[in-house]
């Protein structure tokens, strides 16, 4: 589906801006609710993520001693802007991407990494010991999943013969679902997305029972709210990208809701199935198994073509 | 943190007094080199309540209710240890039916305590699903205890010389139903902790303690039994109705966190068996014998097996209406050493699980210790202790 929207509308309302913020909170709610139901809990009400954000925005933001205030205030904005920008290049809500150029896949992936990078820097910016350890872990984890995740998303791109998201999406709509033709890549990408979002069992950078909230320990109020929205949007963008690449593309809003919802169900199930991995276990898993799987698939694709 | 100081060579991660991993206040200083722990120290005493001193102002009956509130999880064992001690001082024997009901409630309490621990330990490892399910199942026992005693915690089932209530057929059926539900669930949990790859990755060969170390560090309860030290007061020095309803000591040899999981879960099966046996063969007779308010002078030691290990009571009577001295040593106090000794060399991520592994109970073991010199010997009054506490925390 393709509708021409004036650039300002695209940026502020749909598919950028307001739509992303509200859809992001809806997806966060769905994720929390699903995990809660898997864990035999009731889970939050539908407006809880919005209420959390509104409350945080209204609260006083405490700037701790010893931080660089520019970085402290700037990093949450950078993180949010990165994910919001990334959303413009993906087929959000089943519409054609607002902006598209050759190689936008790489740009999108790096815009998504900006989130983790900002969180790592935000943690390293404070003097808090929990933040420092959390930042170290967040960045260590970034280096472990990033390469396999990128390679897993290159699989469909190679199959489609283009590094442009809209072309891959169009190719996926006309062919077999790539989750069937490239199951290994799908698996690596899905688990990589969970690592990117620091969802359990990859939540050691912010393991509550060890280092409180990790890099986010010193954040309160506005900065914390922005990071949270940023992560919601990242979840939405990541799911969209996965659905467009591996689940037969996104032709219309109904397909978008069904496919991303299905993916969310799988990630929620995975979140509730496992014990938290230690950071050394996470890194070991990615470099010993994840990268090998992704490489094997990449070579296979390169030879098949 | 003071930024003016010279940069220190060691990086200390403070856990507590307020920390999401701790449900009660305690302070751990974990020295780390990257993620590896190089040293660990503990500081306790944040929730000292002065109960030992407080009971000296109560009469013998009131003191039991105060002592029962030492612990919210294993309250019944405190009252049992105290009641058994006072009965020994007075030369009174509670009727067999009362003793059996004491053991019944103690075993139900053990079941709820171990299920609670299973959830907490899983939560420390980030396995919230196991946490939620084990706590859901624990509710069955809480409901049974509430139906039996009227309270979810602090059952106050004991009186001096016996117990307060009887177990009739309705109660027995409710307990049997709960046990029938819990037994297959417990088998499932045993399977989870021994086969789930991610959980094993966090528990196997973590915090390993040989039986010699466990002996040297003076550990008690499941912590010692997981290292192969067969130490269980219910078996070594049976009290109440344990001579009639003997339990088997569950031990494991590995001594790591996984063994602690396995020992505690297998103890649940033993508790289920004893509970069923007591319900089937509950002796008939009175529930309590009358006791005089004055207890003859003397000293006694009373020991019971709490869910966390050996609970020790020293009671001294001067022949009056009040206890002269009550000394309580809770099992958690014996087990701290094992955490501090095993932590170095592990990852920081393992520390919360190591702490949880001994099933710590902070408020129970906080005591006031002063070094008394011969020249400055004095007896503290309740008012002085209270004033000291106010000054200390100011």
pLDDT, position B132: 92
Polymer length in residues for chain B: 394
- Whether the Cβ atoms of residue B82 and residue B380 lie closer than 8 Å to each other: no
Size of interface A-B (CB pairs under 8 A): 87
In angstroms, the CA B26 to CA B46 distance is 6
* Residue that the structure tokens 């100081």 belong to: B5
Asked whether the predicted pLDDT for residue B1 surpasses 50, the reply is: no
User: For B244-261, what is each residue's pLDDT tens digit?
Assistant: 899 999 998 888 899 999
DSSP state of A16: S
Instruction: Report yes or no: B129 at the A interface, CB cutoff 8 Å.
Output: yes
Q: Do B199 and A275 touch (CB under 8 A)?
A: yes
For chain B, state the CA radius of gyration: 22
Asked whether the predicted pLDDT for residue B8 surpasses 80, the reply is: no
Q: Do B198 and A41 touch (CB under 8 A)?
A: no
Residue range B19-39: mean pLDDT, rounded: 84
Closest partner residue to B125 among A65, A129, A276, by Cβ?
A: A276
- Whether the Cβ atoms of residue B32 and residue B368 lie closer than 8 Å to each other: no
Nearest CA distance, A206 vs chain B (angstrom): 11
User: Chain A contacts of B198, Cβ < 8 Å?
Assistant: 201, 274-277
- Tell me the two tokens of residue B162: 């016996």
User: For B266-302, what is each residue's pLDDT tens digit?
Assistant: 999 999 999 999 999 888 888 888 888 888 999 999 9
pLDDT, position B156: 86
- Tell me the two tokens of residue B336: 């701290």
Residue range B361-390: mean pLDDT, rounded: 77
pLDDT, position B2: 46
Nearest CA distance, A254 vs chain B (angstrom): 32
Q: Do B126 and A40 touch (CB under 8 A)?
A: no
User: For A110-138, what is each residue's pLDDT tens digit?
Assistant: 888 888 899 899 988 888 888 888 898 88
Nearest CA distance, B211 vs chain A (angstrom): 27
pLDDT, position A249: 79
User: For B103-143, what is each residue's pLDDT tens digit?
Assistant: 999 999 999 999 999 999 999 888 889 999 999 999 999 99
Q: Do A279 and B124 touch (CB under 8 A)?
A: no
**Is-above-0.90 flag for pTM?**
no
* Residue that the structure tokens 């009971």 belong to: B55
User: For B145-193, what is each residue's pLDDT tens digit?
Assistant: 998 888 888 888 898 888 988 898 899 999 999 999 999 999 999 999 9
In angstroms, the CA B216 to CA B236 distance is 19
Q: Do B349 and A208 touch (CB under 8 A)?
A: no
Confidence of residue B7 (pLDDT cuts 50, 70, 90): low
pLDDT, position B313: 92
Asked whether the predicted pLDDT for residue B4 surpasses 60, the reply is: no
What values do phi and psi take at A269, rounded to 5? -65, -45
In angstroms, the CA B65 to CA B82 distance is 10
Q: Do B12 and A276 touch (CB under 8 A)?
A: no
In angstroms, the CA B324 to CA B302 distance is 16
Tell which CATH classification among 1.10.645.10, 3.40.50.620, 1.10.10.10, 1.10.357.10 matches the domain B75-325.
1.10.645.10
pLDDT, position A3: 65
Nearest CA distance, A165 vs chain B (angstrom): 35
Domain boundaries, chain B: 75-325
Per-residue burial over A119-153, b if 16 or more Cβ lie within 10 Å, else e, is bbbbbbbbebbbbbbbbbbbbbbbebbbbbbbbbb
pLDDT, position B34: 79
In angstroms, the CA A81 to CA A287 distance is 30
**HEC sequence for chain B:** CCCCCCCCCCEEEEECCCCCCCCCCCEEEEEEECCEEEEEEEECCCCCCCHHHHHCCCCHHHHHHHHHCCCCCCHHHHHHHHHHHHHHHHCCCCCHHHHHHHHHHHHHHHHHHHHHHHHHHHHHCCCHHHHHHHHHHHHHHHHHHHHHHCCCCCCCCEECCEECCCCCHHHHHHHHHHHHHHHHHHHHHHHHHHHCHHHHHHHCCCCCCCHHHHHHCCCCHHHHHCCCCCCCHHHHCCCCCCCCCCCCCCCCCCCCHHHHHHHHHHHHHHHHHHHHHHHHCCCCCCCECCCCCCCCCEEEEEEEEECCEEEEEEEEECCCCCEEEEEEECHHHHHHHHHHHHCCCCEHHHHHHHHHHCCCCHHHHCCCCCCCCCCCCCCCCHHHHHHHHHHHHC
| Pairing, β B162-163 against β B158-159 | antiparallel
Residue A230's DSSP bridge partners are none
In angstroms, the CA B108 to CA B113 distance is 9
pLDDT, position A2: 63
Closest partner residue to B126 among A65, A212, A276, by Cβ?
A: A276
Residue B310's DSSP bridge partners are B305
For A199, what's the count of Cα atoms within 13 Å in the CB-facing half-sphere?
26
Closest partner residue to B349 among A66, A204, A212, by Cβ?
A: A204
Q: By percentage, how much of chain B surpasses pLDDT 90? A: 32
Closest partner residue to A209 among B13, B124, B347, by Cβ?
A: B124
User: Chain B contacts of A38, Cβ < 8 Å?
Assistant: 129
User: Chain A contacts of B121, Cβ < 8 Å?
Assistant: none
In angstroms, the CA A19 to CA A10 distance is 10
What ipTM describes this predicted complex? 0.84
Q: What is the number of other CB atoms lying within 10 angstroms of the CB of residue A72?
A: 18
pLDDT, position B104: 92
- Full pLDDT tens readout for chain A, 305 residues: 566 777 777 777 777 778 888 889 999 999 999 999 999 889 899 999 999 999 998 988 888 888 888 988 899 999 998 888 888 888 887 777 777 888 888 888 888 888 889 989 998 888 888 888 889 888 888 888 888 888 888 888 888 888 888 888 888 888 788 777 788 888 888 888 988 888 888 888 888 777 888 888 888 888 899 998 999 999 999 999 888 888 887 878 888 889 899 999 999 999 988 888 888 888 888 888 888 888 888 888 878 76
Residues with Cβ within 8 Å of residue B193, at least 6 apart in sequence = B199, B203, B258, B261, B262, B265
Q: Do B351 and A210 touch (CB under 8 A)?
A: yes
Closest partner residue to B21 among A39, A127, A209, by Cβ?
A: A209
Nearest CA distance, A236 vs chain B (angstrom): 24
Q: What average pLDDT does the structure give for chain B? A: 87
């Amino acid at each position: 589906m393709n509708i021409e929207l004036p650039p300002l509308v695209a940026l502020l309302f749909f598919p950028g801006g307001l739509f992303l913020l509200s859809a992001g909170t809806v997806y966060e709610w769905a994720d929390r609710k699903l995990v809660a139901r898997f864990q035999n809990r009731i889970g939050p009400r539908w407006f809880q993520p919005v209420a959390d954000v509104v409350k945080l925005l209204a609260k006083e933001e405490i700037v701790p001693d010893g931080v660089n205030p520019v970085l402290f205030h700037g990093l949450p904005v950078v993180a949010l802007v990165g994910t919001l920008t990334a959303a413009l290049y993906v087929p959000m809500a089943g519409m054609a991407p607002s902006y598209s150029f050759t190689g936008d896949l790489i740009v999108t992936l790096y815009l998504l990494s900006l989130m983790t990078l900002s969180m790592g820097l935000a943690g390293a910016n404070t003097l808090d010991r929990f933040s420092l350890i959390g930042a170290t872990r967040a960045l260590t984890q970034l280096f472990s999943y990033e390469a396999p995740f990128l390679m897993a998303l290159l699989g469909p791109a190679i199959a489609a013969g283009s590094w442009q998201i809209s072309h891959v999406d169009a190719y996926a709509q006309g062919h077999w679902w790539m989750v069937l033709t490239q199951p290994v890549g799908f698996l690596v990408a899905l688990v990589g997305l969970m690592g990117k979002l620091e969802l359990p069992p990859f939540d050691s950078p912010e393991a509550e029972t060890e280092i409180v909230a990790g890099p986010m320990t010193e954040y309160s109020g506005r900065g914390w709210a922005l990071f949270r929205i940023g992560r919601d949007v990242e979840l939405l963008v990541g799911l969209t990208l996965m659905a467009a690449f591996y689940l037969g593309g996104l032709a219309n809003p109904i397909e978008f809701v069904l496919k991303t919802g299905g993916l969310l169900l799988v990630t929620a199930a995975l979140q509730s199935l496992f014990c938290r991995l230690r950071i050394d276990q996470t890194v070991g898993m990615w470099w010993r198994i994840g990268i090998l799987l992704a490489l094997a698939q990449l070579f296979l694709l390169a030879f098949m073509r | 943190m003071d930024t003016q100081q010279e940069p220190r060579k060691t990086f200390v991660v403070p856990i507590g007094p307020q920390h999401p991993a701790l449900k009660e206040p305690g302070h751990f200083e974990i020295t780390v080199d990257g993620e590896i722990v190089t040293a660990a120290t503990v500081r306790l005493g944040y929730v000292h309540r002065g109960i030992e001193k407080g009971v000296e102002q109560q009469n013998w009956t009131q003191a039991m209710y105060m002592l029962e509130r030492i612990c919210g999880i294993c309250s019944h064992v405190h009252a049992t240890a105290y009641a058994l001690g006072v009965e020994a001082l007075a030369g009174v024997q509670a009727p067999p039916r009362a003793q059996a009901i004491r053991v019944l409630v103690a075993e139900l309490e053990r079941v709820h305590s171990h299920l609670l621990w299973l959830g907490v330990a899983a939560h420390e490892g980030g396995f919230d699903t196991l946490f939620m399910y084990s706590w859901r199942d624990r509710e069955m026992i809480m409901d049974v205890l509430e139906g039996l005693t009227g309270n979810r915690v602090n059952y106050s089932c004991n009186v001096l010389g016996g117990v307060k209530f009887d177990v009739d057929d309705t109660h027995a059926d409710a307990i049997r139903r709960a046990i029938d539900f819990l037994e297959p669930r417990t088998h499932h949990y045993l399977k989870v902790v021994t086969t789930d790859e991610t959980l094993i990755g966090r528990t196997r060969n973590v915090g390993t303690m040989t039986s010699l170390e466990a002996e040297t560090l003076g550990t008690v309860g499941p912590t010692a039994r997981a290292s192969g030290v067969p130490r269980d007061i219910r078996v070594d020095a049976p009290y109440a109705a344990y001579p009639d309803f003997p339990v088997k000591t569950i031990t494991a040899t590995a001594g790591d966190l996984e063994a602690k999981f396995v020992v505690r879960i297998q103890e649940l099966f033993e508790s289920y068996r004893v509970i069923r046996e007591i319900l089937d063969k509950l002796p008939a007779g009175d529930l309590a014998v009358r006791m005089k308010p004055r207890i003859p002078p003397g000293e006694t030691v009373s020991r019971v097996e709490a869910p966390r290990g050996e609970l020790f009571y020293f009671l001294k009577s001067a022949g009056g209406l009040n206890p002269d001295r009550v000394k309580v040593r809770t099992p958690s106090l014996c087990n701290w050493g094992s955490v501090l000794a095993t932590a170095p060399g592990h990852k920081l991520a393992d520390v919360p699980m190591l702490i949880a592994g001994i099933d710590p109970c902070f408020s129970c073991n906080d005591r006031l210790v002063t070094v008394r010199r011969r020249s400055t010997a004095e007896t503290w009054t309740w008012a002085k202790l209270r004033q000291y506490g106010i000054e200390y925390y100011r």
